[in-house]
């Protein structure tokens, strides 16, 4: 591995490494150094142990019948692709995949649209109001999701929850005092959706706002002089400028929402029945409630492969938008 | 356009009220005596504010044990991820070498994995090594999720440091190691603090790994303690649980507000002084 400090701007015509015999004098811009190797190896070794090895193990486990018995006896058998064929024939898996896709779409759409709205709102506010909204956003964002899930359970508690009381006051839905949210698929979804969106909007709003404040004023002024309405200015000028940022936060949101586990687990346990069992919950139940760990590993592999395409797009964009690598 | 301004301000006030409400409700419930918590008509302000819920929470027999577990695991995770991360970040930002891009891609890709993709194989490995229920199991799991992120964030701070500073140090005859430790590390200190806080939050908040690996009340960390906050005789003690949630969330919220300022300060402080 030939290494040249990043400060090197001159390259040999052939791109050849500098001759090793060149004595590195002071100010020499071309020293062979092993520094990055030494600097990287500790983190590299640790990452190999804690990430690459488990991923290899995940693949391996998905080809075995590793289950509850194995935990005690340590015996398991190689079963080839049986776990995968079983999985693809399992309607529960397909159902949870469809659920995950629909739910992710609903959450991403909700949080990105509201986030854009709040971002735009921030640009129209005076200093004091902007500060207040920012603090509110940061506090909502900062809530650990275990805590916010428990707060949600309390807000939506039948009989004593403030949400039911509030709906009751509206006098639109009849008597809602004892409305049970976790026991009804649509209502369980609604409350989880609200929680995810509530926590996702701050990140999106503040990130988009950082881009939106960079939109050159003169473009907007020019559009206004041409008689464009505020809506048209936003659509034509602002949206064009914040498009790359929007794409990044959308991809990130898809990845995060697709992987959501804690909130669903703590609010509905994937219930009632399997109604809110998205892929993450379904995998967890398979591996750690039924202890069909081989099967769980297979689902996890499939889940990861489905995400891989999107992850690749995200990483390509991130590397391209960054400084030269 | 005063009318328009008033409309925009009204929307902003409404937004603040709606968005902060869940947090307000958590705090409000935490300070209510038990009879005020479970009422058909909610009290929007505690009439007889009390600290009894907080006392209930911190005097639970598992609280101190679980707090200690959390502190130990989180401290180890933060230390590991910073020490390992800062060197890796320096290598990735200041040098060119073959395989650099690949390493960066791996670092980013790991962050996108679903939780179960690490949870299941780690469970299998730790079960085989008899590590389930140990601090080490959790620290390894957290380092796996936090270290790639730390490297990425700190790399951003390194990149922001102008190359001229380094060149000047080299011209003055500093070694690579000297440039690193005496020039670069002090300059990325704000980045290290921010990264440390991020790592703290990630490890402090984790529920999935702790819940799956620890399998015993005395081994739980605070998020698991929080979720298992139920009284077998009276159902969930919401007052106590909300007080516990306040205590658990407070450090994270404070850190978040600190990071905000720190990031901005760190970026503007890294300039070349003429």
Is the distance from CB of B25 to CB of A162 less than 8 angstroms? yes
> What pLDDT is stored for residue B10 in this prediction?
96
CB < 8 Å to A159, chain B:
40
Q: Do A35 and B95 touch (CB under 8 A)?
A: yes
Is the distance from CB of A101 to CB of A306 less than 8 angstroms? no
CB < 8 Å to B141, chain A:
50
pLDDT digits (tens, 9 = 90+) for B70-93: 999 999 999 999 999 999 999 888
Is the distance from CB of A266 to CB of A150 less than 8 angstroms? yes
> What pLDDT is stored for residue B230 in this prediction?
64
pLDDT digits (tens, 9 = 90+) for B211-265: 999 988 899 999 999 988 765 566 788 999 999 999 999 999 998 888 775 543 3
Q: Do A325 and B84 touch (CB under 8 A)?
A: no
> What pLDDT is stored for residue A24 in this prediction?
39
Query: In the A/B pair of chains, how many CB contacts fall below 8 A?
Result: 294
Q: What is the largest CA-CA distance in chain A?
A: 87
CB atoms within 10 A of CB A292: 20
> What pLDDT is stored for residue A5 in this prediction?
37
- Tell me, yes or no, if A45 comes closer than 8 A to chain B by beta carbon: no
CB < 8 Å to B116, chain A:
261, 280, 283-284, 287, 296, 299-300, 303
Average pLDDT, chain A: 86
Percent of chain A past pLDDT 90, that is, above it, reads 59
Percent of chain B past pLDDT 90, that is, above it, reads 51
pLDDT digits (tens, 9 = 90+) for B17-45: 999 999 999 999 999 998 899 888 888 99
Q: Using the predicted structure, report yes or no on whether residue A17 has a pLDDT greater than 60.
A: no
Decide which of A176 and A154 is more confident: A154
Query: Which residue from B minimizes the CA distance to A310?
Result: B112
Gap from A242 CA to chain B (nearest CA, Å):
21
Let me know how long chain A is. 325
Run of H or E residues at B134: none
Q: Do A148 and B22 touch (CB under 8 A)?
A: yes
Give a three-class secondary structure readout of chain A. CCCEECCCCCCCCCCCCCCCCCCCCCCCCCCCCCHHHHHHHHHHHHHHHHHHHHHHHHHHHHCECCCHHHHHHCCCCECCCHHHHHHHCCHHHHHHHHHHHHHHHHHHHHHHHHHHHHHHHHHCCCHHHHHHHHHHHHHHHHCCHHHHHHHHHHHCCCCCCHHHHHHHHHCCCCCCCCCCCCCCHHHHHHHHHHHHHHHHHHHHHHHHHHHHCCCCHHHHHHHHHCCCCHHHHHHHHHHHHHHHHHHHHHHHHHHHHHCCCHHHHHHHCCCCCCCCCCHHHHHHHHHHHCCCHHHHHHHHHHHHHHHHHHHHHHHHHHHHHCCCC
pLDDT digits (tens, 9 = 90+) for B97-135: 777 777 778 777 877 888 899 999 999 999 999 999 999
Would you tell me which residues 228-247 of chain A have a C-beta closer than 8 angstroms to some C-beta of chain B? none
Q: Do B19 and A296 touch (CB under 8 A)?
A: no
Q: Do B91 and A40 touch (CB under 8 A)?
A: yes
pLDDT digits (tens, 9 = 90+) for A283-296: 999 999 999 999 99
Decide which of A29 and A114 is more confident: A114
Torsion-angle region of A64 (φ positive above 0: left; ψ -120 to 50: alpha; else: beta):
beta
pLDDT digits (tens, 9 = 90+) for A180-222: 898 899 999 999 999 999 999 998 998 899 889 989 999 999 9
In this prediction, residue A22 has a pLDDT band, given cuts at 50, 70 and 90, of: very low
CB < 8 Å to B205, chain A:
144-146
> What pLDDT is stored for residue A321 in this prediction?
65
Q: Using the predicted structure, report yes or no on whether residue B189 has a pLDDT greater than 50.
A: yes
Would you tell me which residues 178-237 of chain A have a C-beta closer than 8 angstroms to some C-beta of chain B? 198, 201
> What pLDDT is stored for residue B138 in this prediction?
96
> What pLDDT is stored for residue A309 in this prediction?
84
Mean pLDDT across the stretch B40-55? 91
pLDDT digits (tens, 9 = 90+) for A28-37: 344 557 778 8
Q: What is the dihedral of CA B17, A108, A282, B206, to 10 degrees?
A: -60
Q: Residue A144 is nearest to which of B96, B141, B248, comparing CB atoms?
A: B248
- d(Cα A282, Cα A97) in Å, to the nearest integer? 9
Phi, psi of A78 (to 5 degrees): -80, 125
Would you tell me which residues 55-84 of chain A have a C-beta closer than 8 angstroms to some C-beta of chain B? 55-58, 61, 66, 71, 74
Q: Do B95 and A50 touch (CB under 8 A)?
A: no
> What pLDDT is stored for residue B229 in this prediction?
77
| Identity of the highest mean pLDDT range in A109-123, A160-174, A211-225, B112-126 | A109-123
Would you tell me which residues 250-269 of chain A have a C-beta closer than 8 angstroms to some C-beta of chain B? 255, 258-259, 261-262, 266
CB < 8 Å to A325, chain B:
100-101, 104
> What pLDDT is stored for residue B68 in this prediction?
97
> What pLDDT is stored for residue A308 in this prediction?
87
> What pLDDT is stored for residue B98 in this prediction?
72
Least confident of A16-25, A157-166, A188-197, A315-324: A16-25
pTM for this structure? Answer: 0.88
Question: Residue A4: beta bridge partners?
Answer: B96
């Amino acid at each position: 591995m030939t290494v040249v400090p990043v400060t090197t701007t001159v390259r040999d015509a052939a791109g050849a490494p500098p001759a090793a015999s060149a004595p590195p004098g002071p100010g020499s811009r071309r020293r062979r150094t092993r520094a990055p190797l030494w600097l990287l190896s500790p983190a590299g070794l640790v990452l190999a142990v804690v990430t690459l090895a488990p991923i290899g193990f995940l693949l391996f486990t998905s080809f075995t019948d590793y289950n509850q018995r194995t935990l005690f006896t340590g015996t398991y058998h190689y079963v080839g692709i049986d776990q995968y064929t079983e999985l693809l024939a399992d309607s529960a898996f397909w159902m949870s995949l469809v659920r995950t896709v629909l739910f992710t779409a609903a959450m991403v759409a909700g949080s990105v649209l509201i986030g854009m709205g709040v971002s735009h709102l921030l640009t129209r506010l005076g200093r004091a109001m902007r500060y207040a909204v920012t603090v509110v956003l940061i506090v909502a964002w900062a809530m650990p999701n275990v805590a916010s899930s428990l707060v949600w359970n309390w807000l939506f508690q039948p009989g004593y929850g403030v949400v039911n009381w509030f709906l009751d006051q509206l006098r639109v839905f009849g008597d809602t005092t004892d409305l049970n949210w976790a026991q009804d698929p649509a209502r369980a979804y609604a409350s989880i959706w609200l929680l995810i969106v509530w926590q996702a909007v701050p990140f999106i709003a503040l990130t988009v706002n950082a881009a939106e404040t960079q939109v050159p004023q003169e473009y907007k002024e020019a559009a206004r002089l041409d008689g464009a309405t505020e809506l048209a200015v936003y659509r034509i000028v602002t949206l064009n400028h914040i498009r790359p940022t929007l794409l990044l936060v959308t991809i990130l949101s898809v990845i995060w929402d697709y992987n959501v586990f804690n909130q669903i687990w703590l609010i509905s346990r994937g219930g009632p029945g399997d109604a809110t069992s998205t892929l993450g919950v379904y995998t967890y139940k398979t591996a750690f409630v039924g202890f069909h760990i081989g099967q769980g590993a297979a689902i996890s592999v499939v889940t990861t492969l489905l995400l891989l395409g999107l992850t690749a797009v995200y990483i390509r964009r991130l590397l391209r938008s960054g400084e030269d690598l | 356009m005063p009318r328009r301004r008033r409309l925009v301000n009204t929307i902003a006030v409404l937004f603040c009220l709606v968005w902060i409400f869940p947090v307000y409700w958590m705090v409000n419930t935490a300070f209510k005596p038990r009879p005020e918590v479970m009422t058909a008509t909610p009290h929007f302000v505690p009439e007889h504010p009390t600290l009894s819920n907080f006392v209930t929470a911190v005097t639970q027999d598992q609280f101190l044990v679980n707090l200690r577990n959390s502190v130990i695991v989180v401290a180890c995770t933060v230390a590991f991820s910073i020490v390992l991360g800062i060197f890796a970040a320096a290598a990735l930002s200041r040098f060119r070498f073959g395989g650099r891009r690949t390493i960066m891609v791996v670092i980013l890709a790991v962050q996108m994995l679903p939780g179960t993709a690490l949870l299941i194989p780690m469970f299998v490995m730790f079960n085989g090594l008899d590590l389930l229920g140990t601090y080490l199991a959790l620290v390894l799991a957290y380092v796996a999720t936090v270290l790639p992120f730390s490297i990425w964030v700190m790399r951003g701070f390194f990149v922001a440091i102008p190359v001229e500073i380094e060149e000047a140090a080299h011209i003055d005859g500093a070694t690579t190691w000297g440039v690193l430790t005496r020039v670069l590390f002090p300059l990325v200190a704000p980045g290290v603090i921010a990264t440390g806080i991020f790592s703290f939050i990630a490890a402090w908040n984790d529920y999935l790994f702790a819940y799956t690996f620890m399998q015993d009340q005395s081994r739980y960390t605070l998020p698991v303690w929080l979720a298992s906050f139920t009284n077998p005789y009276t159902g969930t003690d919401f007052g106590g649980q909300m007080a516990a949630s306040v205590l658990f969330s407070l450090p994270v919220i404070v850190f978040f507000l600190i990071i905000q300022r720190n990031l901005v300060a760190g970026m503007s402080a890294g300039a070349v002084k003429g």
